[in-house]
């Protein structure tokens, strides 16, 4: 294998996952190929039990921790690839960002993540990433979407090209589907240059009223300050902040007149001469979910933090 092989693995239930994943890992161990497995804890533990001592050169991580915010998953794979880059050894990974427990907003961003893997690792040498999808617990529409985002598909003893893969260029295009509207009770603030203190005070009062813990409010304040600063610097010199609580989460949305085109913005640490993208990176480290839309009238960015 050369290049980046991004492959969807279809499985029906945990036993079938363990059977197919253990075969994949054992082949890697036999070939001396470093491997990283990032899946949810129940499947992680079952796979480790099945492998027993056959785990030399294999790392394990819980997707609930690595991928709590889906935008942090590509950096984790990037670290894995860079760690072994000097050796030139083929690498393997198993990553399951999409599972039934994801809420709707997370699912959309995980699907975006799957698309952007094709961009992030385009040109990577000898990296085979297997992405498991449970055909029992996942909706059929989620499986159909996965065919579009993976060049290859495996399952039940076969490996083949994905018949519905749409290609890297389409998958890297900015997301232009509008967000669902905020609830009627959402609070809104229009801000201009010199008003970041006002933005922070507005957020603090709203977060306190929503019962957001102090530490999480501080994290969100730093993240929001970065995004609002970008709006003033690159988004037309003004912005609109909207905040509300929903389904156990506190949500902040900023809209401005900018035009964000980099598909990996916030998912890769920006070079020192590209300060405009650093705010999104910081926001992804501090928030549970960051959503980005590049719309006809400008950017829309939503920051989510769990209240509990």
For residue range 81-136, list pLDDT tens digits in order.
999 988 999 999 999 999 999 999 999 999 999 999 999 999 898 999 999 999 99
In the prediction, which pLDDT does 272 show?
65
Instruction: Check pLDDT > 90 for residue 156.
Output: no
Q: Give strand pairing partners of 71.
A: none
Distance CA 168, CA 116 (A): 8
Query: Looking at residue 54, what is its pLDDT?
Result: 66
Would you place residue 142 in the very low, low, confident or very high pLDDT band (cuts 50, 70, 90)?
very high
Last residue of a domain, one of 171, 199, 217: 171
Q: Are residues 152 and 201 in the same domain?
A: no
**Sole residue written with tokens 């890769």:** 268
User: Are 140 and 217 within one domain?
Assistant: no
Number of folded domains that form the chain:
2
pLDDT mean over 258-271: 88
Q: Is residue 176 situated within a structural domain? A: no
Give the CATH number for residue 37. Answer: 3.40.50.300
pLDDT at 157: 87
pLDDT band at 207 (very low <50, low <70, confident <90, very high): very high
Radius of gyration from C-alpha coordinates of the chain? 20
Average pLDDT over residues 47-71: 94
157/215 same-domain check: no
DSSP label of 87: G
Same domain, 101 and 39: yes
Identify whether 258 is part of a domain: yes
Q: Is residue 201 part of a domain?
A: yes
How far apart are the C-alpha atoms of 257 and 217, rounded to whole Å? 26
Q: What's the DSSP call for residue 82?
A: H
Domain end point (choices 171, 197, 228): 171
Residue 266 CA: distances (Å) to CA of 3, 163, 234, 271, 301: 24, 31, 16, 12, 11
Question: Token digits for 2?
Answer: 């050369």
Is residue 69 a part of any domain in this protein? yes
What's the pLDDT band for 275 if we cut at 50, 70, 90?
A: low
Q: What CA–CA distances, in Å, run from 100 to 73, 117, 307?
A: 18, 21, 21
Question: Does residue 180 belong to any structural domain of this protein?
Answer: no
Q: Do 16 and 70 sit in the same domain of this protein?
A: yes
In this structure, what CATH number is given to the domain that contains residue 192?
3.30.565.10
| Report field, pTM of the whole predicted structure over 0.85 | yes
Pairwise CA distance, residues 91 & 124, whole Å: 10
Same domain, 78 and 191: no
Please answer whether residues 14 and 136 qualify as being in contact, where contact means their C-beta atoms are separated by less than 8 angstroms. no
Residue 286 has pLDDT above 90, yes or no: yes
Residue 73 C-beta-side C-alpha neighbours within 13 Å: 33
**Cα–Cα distance, 24 to 91 (Å, whole number):** 12
Nearest to 193 by CA among 238, 160, 136: 238
Q: What residues make up the domain containing 41?
A: 4-171
pLDDT of residue 277: 59
Do 127 and 244 fall within a single domain? no
Pick the last residue of a domain from 143, 171, 199. Answer: 171
Both tokens of 63, joined, read: 């997707």
* 3-class secondary structure, 243: strand
> Is 182 a member of any domain?
no
Same domain for 73 and 37: yes
Size of the chain in residues:
308
Query: For residues 29 and 40, what is the distance between their CA atoms, to the nearest angstrom?
Result: 21
Q: Both 246 and 159 in a single domain?
A: no
């Amino acid at each position: 294998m050369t290049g980046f092989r991004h492959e969807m693995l279809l499985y029906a239930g945990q036993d079938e996952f363990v059977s197919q994943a253990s075969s994949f890992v054992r082949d890697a161990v036999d070939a001396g190929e470093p491997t990283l497995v990032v899946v949810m804890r129940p499947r992680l533990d079952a796979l480790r039990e099945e492998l027993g001592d056959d785990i030399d050169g294999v790392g394990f991580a819980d997707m609930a921790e690595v991928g709590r915010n889906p935008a942090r998953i590509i950096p984790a794979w990037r670290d894995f690839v860079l760690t072994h880059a000097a050796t030139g050894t083929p690498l393997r990974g198993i990553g399951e960002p999409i599972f039934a427990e994801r809420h709707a907003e997370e699912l959309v961003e995980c699907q975006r993540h799957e698309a952007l893997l094709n961009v992030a690792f385009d040109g990577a040498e000898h990296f085979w990433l297997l992405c498991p999808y449970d055909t029992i617990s996942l909706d059929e529409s989620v499986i159909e979407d996965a065919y579009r985002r993976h060049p290859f598909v495996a399952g039940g003893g076969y490996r083949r090209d994905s018949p519905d893969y749409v290609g890297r260029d389409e998958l890297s295009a900015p997301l232009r589907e509008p967000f669902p509207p905020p609830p009627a009770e959402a609070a809104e603030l229009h801000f201009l240059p010199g008003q970041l203190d006002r933005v922070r005070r507005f957020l603090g009062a709203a977060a306190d009223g929503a019962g957001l813990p102090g530490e999480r409010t501080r994290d969100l304040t730093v993240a929001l300050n970065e995004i609002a600063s970008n709006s003033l610097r690159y988004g037309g010199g003004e912005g609109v902040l909207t905040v509300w609580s929903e389904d156990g989460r506190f949500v902040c949305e900023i809209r401005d007149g900018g035009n964000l085109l980099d598909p990996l913005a916030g998912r890769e640490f920006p070079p020192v001469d590209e300060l405009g993208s650093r705010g999104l990176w910081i926001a992804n480290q501090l928030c549970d979910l960051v959503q980005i839309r590049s719309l006809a009238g400008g950017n829309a960015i939503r920051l989510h933090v769990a209240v509990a």
